[in-house]
Amino acid sequence: MPELPEVETVVRGLRDKLVGNKVLGVSVLNTNTIKNPEDISRFEEGLNNKKIQDVNRRGKYIVILLEDYMHLIIHLRMTGQLLYSDDNLELTHLRVVWNLAKGKLYFNDIRKFGTVSLLASGELEKEKGYWSLGVEPLDDDFHLGYLKGKIKGNRPVKSFILDQSVIAGLGNIYADESLYLAKILPNRPINTLNEFELKSLSGAIKHVLAQSIKNKGTTFSDFVDSYGGRGSNQNHLKVYGRGKENCYECGTTLVKDKIGGRTTVFCLNCQK
């Protein structure tokens, strides 16, 4: 479900409610949600009476920083939801609950793919996906030079930009949208893109992500913000989910194909 804009929307909603708040206790309802289940007692007790100092996002990871440099690292994967409420919520797929001095934090996840781990500062490399993340695409250091430095081999440009060690937080929706906006075919080998195309691509990625954050993310079915609200960016998508429909720009039937194992939609006329 959630890519960078959705995770950013969740983090922005949580920050005010969590920073300065304090963890009183944790209930784990599905042990497999915890990344190191053998360490479950440490997870359940390690946060008691710890103050929350900050709530941030890195790629698609949510990072909650607590006293003593403890990091609560949460990945929503496909259907995870992180909800805050002052009242008791009845949730059908509840996996973890944090009891706070004020309110509660709920991790709800239909498919159980989501993960939560508790790590000290010196242990962050244990979270391999987190540790090896590439640049934040909305930061200034995501630019032509960065992309050129990352290019090797000839894999499809779509696989390249979905690689989290290249661009942190880009997922299937915004990869397709960015390639459409940049007018580049998703199966183009990455080493055939010229500088102009790489520049348009990085610009398109920034534009598409920023627009979705403004719209509070894309909601098809499961994504909600930290209060259960839906995003509206699904009303602005140009290609994702529109296979066999007509291109808004030229009317050509959009093609749906598999690239790098992921469903991909594009316009054979607008994209070169």
Point out the residues that are catalytic.
2-3, 60, 262
| Of 109, 36, 47, residue with least CA distance to 75 | 109
Task: Check: CB of residue 270 under 8 Å from CB of residue 183.
Answer: yes
The phi, psi pair for 177, rounded to 5°, reads -65, -40
| Near DNA by CB under 7 A: residue from 28, 103, 124, 129 | 129
User: Binding string to DNA for residues 142 to 161, with x set by CB under 7 A, is what?
Assistant: ----------xxxxx--x--
Q: Which of residues 35 and 51 has its CB atom nearest to DNA in the complex?
A: 35
Beta bridge partners of 100: 23
Q: Which stretch binds DNA (CB under 7 A): 99-107, 178-186, 199-207, 216-224?
A: 216-224
Q: Which of residues 26 and 73 has its CB atom nearest to DNA in the complex?
A: 73
Nearest distance from C-beta of residue 103 to DNA, angstroms: 26
| Of 60, 158, 63, 162, residue with least CA distance to 113 | 60
Q: Which of residues 32 and 49 has its CB atom nearest to DNA in the complex?
A: 32
161 to 190, contacts with DNA by CB under 7 A? 162, 164, 171-173
Site for DNA contains 260 (CB under 7 A): yes
Site for DNA contains 15 (CB under 7 A): no
The phi, psi pair for 42, rounded to 5°, reads -60, -40
Site for DNA contains 137 (CB under 7 A): no
CA distance linking residue 138 with residue 76, whole number of Å: 20
Beta bridge partners of 23: 100
Site for DNA contains 8 (CB under 7 A): no
Residues 6+ apart with CB under 8 A from 261: none
CA distance linking residue 256 with residue 182, whole number of Å: 18
SS3 34: strand
Which DSSP helix (H) or strand (E) runs through 159?
Answer: helix 157-162
User: Binding string to DNA for residues 81 to 120, with x set by CB under 7 A, is what?
Assistant: -----------xx----------------xxxx-------
Task: Compute how many residues bind DNA; rule: CB under 7 A.
Answer: 41
Site for DNA contains 56 (CB under 7 A): no
Cα 96 from chain centre = 19
Nearest distance from C-beta of residue 22 to DNA, angstroms: 29
Site residues, DNA (CB under 7 A): 1-3, 6, 32, 59-60, 75, 77-79, 92-93, 110-113, 128-129, 152-156, 159, 162, 164, 171-173, 218-223, 234, 260-263
